Amino acid sequence: MADQVKGDRYLVTGGAGFIGSNIVELLLAKGRPVRVLDNFSTGRRQNLKGYERQIELIEGDIRDAAVVARAVEGCACVIHQAALPSVVRSVEDPRVSHEVNATGTLNLLIAARDAKVRRFVYASSSSVYGDSPELPKREEMVPRPFSPYAVGKLAGEAYCMVFSRLYGMSCVALRYFNVFGPRQDPNSSYAAVIPNFFKALCSGVAPLIDGDGNQSRDFTFVTNVAEANILAADAVLEGGEVINIACGEGISINGLLELLHEILGVGIEPRHGAQRPGDVRHSRADISRAARLIGYRPGIDLREGLRLSVPYYRQCAAPPAAAPAPGGRRTAGG
């Protein structure tokens, strides 16, 4: 990409991941030069297929300060998506969750400060609100993290605020609410509820609901989130802001399953298991600050986002094609 201006680059950490790759795609569609940093621990090369010649790729870990410094060099903006996802995984291994999500973020902030990066956009999480019964969740509420994952994300927010105040960096933290859509891995042992439901329903299997299913979430289509990151990268901000990114509407897990039954034209009764440790009961965002500060408005609602996701999840659930018979022909029945 010799025609790129070095200082105009956008570094997307975790750019081979679910959300990161959607951000990369949107940046490229807008003509922005992109560098990706990913260690492919949860990201997938398939997510960047077709874009290999349009991006600069650095394979490495955000826990490695030398790799991070090389990745940030010459970039105008860092869009930091790299993380070890999953509340459940953090409960099982809080140390590694902290090292990646908190210490890795600090490494990036130090490198961005030293490289005089113009804007640092940090992917935080609605999990920082914890199990407060107050709805909707507003950014000025006192955080009550309920899991090591939430603690790590909150630590990253605090570091962004401190670096903005101490070093004059322009950092903004986006609190995502239950993102879903194409490239979300339904086969991970830590897969979220929507890919799990799609996988089960497309395979004719009873979906599993953790707990009674009356818990509620504010599900947000990934294209909305990708657009929010670019808006946050470009907006005029003081630095240190925290902003909810969601649709501003809640739905119960039982209601979500009913909606998927309708969209897919199936009706498979669920199984119920134990409630997952670290999960919050209800979550719904106030997104007025996002509209005011960065001009964010979710363009795709839950129903439309689910409908747009159907082809991807049907493909994920499809059985692998049979190997061709000798001579290049396929056989039926052996």
Which DSSP string corresponds to 144-184? Answer: ---SHHHHHHHHHHHHHHHHHHHH---EEEEEE-SEE-TT-
Instruction: Decide if 217 contacts 10 (C-beta within 8 A).
Output: no
The pLDDT tens digits of the residues spanning 195-241 come to 999 999 999 999 999 999 999 999 999 999 999 999 999 999 999 99
Cα separation, 254 vs 256, in Å, equals 5
Asked if pLDDT for residue 324 goes beyond 90, the answer is no
What local confidence, expressed as pLDDT, does residue 322 receive? 47
Please state the pTM of the whole predicted model. 0.90
Catalytic residue at 149? yes
The pLDDT tens digits of the residues spanning 27-40 come to 999 999 999 999 99
Q: Delimit the domains of the chain by residue range.
A: 6-317
The pLDDT tens digits of the residues spanning 51-110 come to 999 999 999 999 999 999 999 999 999 999 999 988 889 999 999 999 999 999 999 999
- Structural tokens at position 254: 């039982």
Q: Active site residue: 129, 149, 159, 313, which one?
A: 149
CATH entry 3.40.50.300 includes domain 6-317? no
